[in-house]
Structure 1
Amino acid sequence: MIEITINGKTCICEKGEYLLDVARRNGFYIPTLCHHPAIPGQACCRVCLVEVVEKGRSKIVVSCVYPVERPCEVYTDSERVKEDRAVVLMLLKERAPESDLIDALCSAYGAADGSRFIQIDGEKCIMCGLCVGACAKMGTGAISTVLRGTSKKISTPYDEPSKDCVGCLSCVSICPTDAISYKDDGQTREVWGRTFEIAHCRKCGVPIGTKEELELVAKRTGEETEELCPECRKKKMTDTMAHTYGIV
């Protein structure tokens, strides 16, 4: 175990733990955009910068991927951190000028106007890669990073509707800036150029996912889907147990 201080508070952590995790566990707020516990190691937005002092020497590090190796002092909101974070946010604002979340962070940290840089009109994506990671974890791999330089973006192969997409909206749910557009009227769902039919619970009628999504789950589990929502599935299990043990 290692003893460090965060903003003057003594904190205990294991060697190798990432600073962001230690700080959050101890109640310290560090803003993030590309961080998600299910998809670690992105470290591309740089918003989670903190200042670390070791043996009298100070440095700025990316807290989500900085492992604690020895006792140190950590400052999550020092003047140096605020200045560097404001610059990062200014650049992100130019990359994603339509993002309300980045707008709010820019206001909170006093980010300067960066309109002298190239601005991508109507864009919300910051290329954090979380959506690609979530899609990969689903086992579909329907989207990826394509092109290079200022043209780089997240898309399906050749910008065509992907046969691998199941319309699960994992990419939409994990996106920090609401950059992925979709439509859902309760009967059909449109995302990444495809339209999916939505399945409903055969007991209560609530939407439970797309047909393709349920088929993927069935294929993975090797069991036929019952097309029941979590609540109705739970009730069915309870009723089965009650019948089995003669509970009235």
Structure 2
Amino acid sequence: MGAPSIHPSAVVDPGASLGEDVRIGAFTLVGAGVEIGAGTSVGPHCSIQGPTRIGRDNRIHGHAAIGGEPQDKKFTGERVELVIGDRNTIREFVTLNRGTGDGGGVTRIGDDNWFLAYTHVAHDCIVGNHCVFSNNATLAGHVEVGDHVILSGFTGIHQFCRIGAHAFIGMGAFVNGDVPPFVMVAQDGYGRPRGINAEGLKRRGFDSARTAAIKRAYRALYVSGDPLDTARARLAELAGESDDVRAMLAFIDAGERPLLR
């Protein structure tokens, strides 16, 4: 491990903190209150504003804008921050904004995520681990995204929505309600559920019994035609046999926005 490597044309504020082996590319600006963990590389023409904490071994490509002020008219300059975990890949022209004072004050991103070109994470969002945001995928403010979620290109998630773990949002879908874990959403005006993310679950080692239990829960929730209260009661019955169904039920019970149905 060695000292940070900073291109001569880069501007690093004295109030920034760079870990060992951090690399800062040409014409990049690193502001006060920025902390960058060991082994992270930042490409050319990036802007990183603080307060922002970035973990280890991240790869930030050219023209990314990290830690900018929230795009919220209620923001009045209060101290808010962006926290990014380890081993994330952040591609060209990605924008990740800090939180707001009345929204918790923090935008938080986990580990091992891929943010492809032109993706946007707005203020006060929470993103888990091992997610893929394809080109131009956009989160409005206060969105929560679980682990292993895939957002296809040009998807848009409405503010305050939640996307459960292992969900898959298809290309161009606009989501204006909570998406339970494991569910696949496809474009139809606004996005609508179209089965479970069976291929993704298979890739992550879910066996046939787990997948079958999730399918039964999906049918109860979306195919039966029952009102939500009746479908929820059926899920409660199925939850006795499956940790995954219990996770779906807990997700539904914790929601404040309508469920996407």
> TM-score normalised to the size of structure 2?
0.26
Structure of greater relative contact order (alpha carbons < 8 Å, 6+ residues apart): 1
The structure with more strand, counted as a fraction of residues: 2
Give the TM-score normalised by the residue count of structure 1. Answer: 0.27
The structure with the greater share of residues assigned to helix is 1
